[in-house]
Amino acid sequence: MTAQFGAKSTTDDVLAGVDLKGKRILVTGVSAGLGVETARALAAHGATVVGAARDLKKAEAATAEVRAQAANGGSLELIELDLADLASVRAAADKLNVAGKQFDVVICNAGVMATPFGKTKDGFETQFGTNHLGHFVFVNRIANLIKDGGRLVNLSSSGHRFSDVDLDDPNFDHTPYTEFGAYGRSKTANILFAVEFDRRHKARGVRAAAVHPGGIQTELGRYMTPGVMQGLIDSINAQAATAGAAAFEWKTIPQGAATSCWAAVVAPAAEVGGLFCEDCHVAEPAEGPDLRGGVRAYALDADRAKALWALSEQMVGETFA
């Protein structure tokens, strides 16, 4: 690596001197927060960005600054995509396939966190269905549009350390539901999806990575009360104190989106393919109760990745090569 970045690096830091003119990049979830900043940074460096969002009117307003800062041939176009509705997912993928324009990078940024128990339109538990299955179908349906040598970046979270996937009860039909347990399952699934997608596509140079953006105050936390949020931070800080580590600090949105941009267009593909990244570096293995730093072994387990892929195909009723 020619430059070293860390937790405080911003999108502008990691993309300094990077020319993305002629690159075509798809980013999901461009109606707020990290998605908007990711799109802004990429378009400002010349990329043609296709932004996907459930609410196009909201996304149109939220991305005004993306268009304003687009430079060196950069641009933004929007497509409708509701990850909690597979009919919408398939329609969006079909539209892109008909257009036939290839992508250098796909960044799966959209998601929900710590929602009350609910079901997607297709009957899947909300977080697993939206965060994992929606992206699973969407990406696989447009996989042939990812250029040889391209990349897939899945936004996961340190929240994967809350829970492994449950291959026997993905919809909490028999398991007591907890908001963070379900979130953890979905974020682990995001990593496992990257692991298996990387294995299946790396022969043509397409590599996949999962990233943790860090703790950022965005709309993602809208279901969490201030008390729940503070309780989580207190728990993290207690663990940090025991380990002699620094107290928790919020990241800014540009700092949070930096790892996505780094993994997508800066880091060497061979160094991030099939792995989990945080703070603009590849995460180290970590076990134990700590919620900060590192990746659980189960999230990178190749056999579990294959098993999740098979389960996901069964759940959505589609098989992908």
The angle at the Cα of 285, spanning 139 to 29, to the nearest 5 degrees, equals: 30
Q: Is 298 a known active-site residue? A: no
Other Cβ atoms less than 10 A from the Cβ of 218: the count is 17
Give dist(CA 319, CA 312) in Å, integer.
Answer: 9
DSSP 152-164: EEEE--GGGGG--
- Distances in Å between the Cα of 218 and the Cα atoms of 55, 213, 214 are 17, 12, 11
Q: Strand pairing of 281-282 and 276-278?
A: antiparallel
Amino acid identity, residue 164?
A: D
Catalytic residue among 177, 183, 223, 298: 177
- Distances in Å between the Cα of 114 and the Cα atoms of 47, 219, 221, 232, 305 are 33, 12, 8, 12, 23
Q: Residue 244 is encoded by which pair of tokens?
A: 């002699």
Q: In this structure, is the dihedral angle defined by the CA atoms of residues 109, 285, 16 and 269, taken in order, positive or negative? A: negative
Q: Using an 8 Å Cβ cutoff, are 137 and 93 in contact?
A: yes
Active site residues: 177
